[in-house]
Amino acid sequence: KNQVEQSPQSLIILEGKNCTLQCNYTVSPFSNLRWYKQDTGRGPVSLTIMTFSENTKSNGRYTATLDADTKQSSLHITASQLSDSASYICVVSPRQAGTALIFGKGTTLSVSS
């Protein structure tokens, strides 16, 4: 069964610190892996999209990595800010045409001052 598992479920860090969120998936084959940020009460916003052949993709202080061999991805946030407090969702797109995206349950990040 195609699944996307994220860890940790929640995380609290101090402002200015770095953190790394994990995503393990069983989807195979897949065409791309995405990371979204969802603020409370808002819709998800795309951070990065990586194809199966890419290893890393950056968007400002956000850097996503992908290891297709181990079926793992991570999202690294550098120098965290209060505005980074949100849910971060890992999404995998199966390669089979017409197959829906598979969403992880998300990691809730709280950045405190």
Applying CB under 8 A, which residues contact another protein?
A: 4, 31-32, 34, 41-46, 49, 89, 93, 97-98, 100-106
Shortest separation between residue 52's beta carbon and another protein, angstroms: 11
Shortest separation between residue 25's beta carbon and another protein, angstroms: 12
Euclidean distance between CA atoms 84 and 109, whole angstroms: 7
Measure the CA angle with vertex 67, ends 83 and 7; round to 5°: 45
Residue 104 in 3-state DSSP?
Answer: coil
Query: Which residue lies nearer to another protein by CB, 3 or 112?
Result: 3
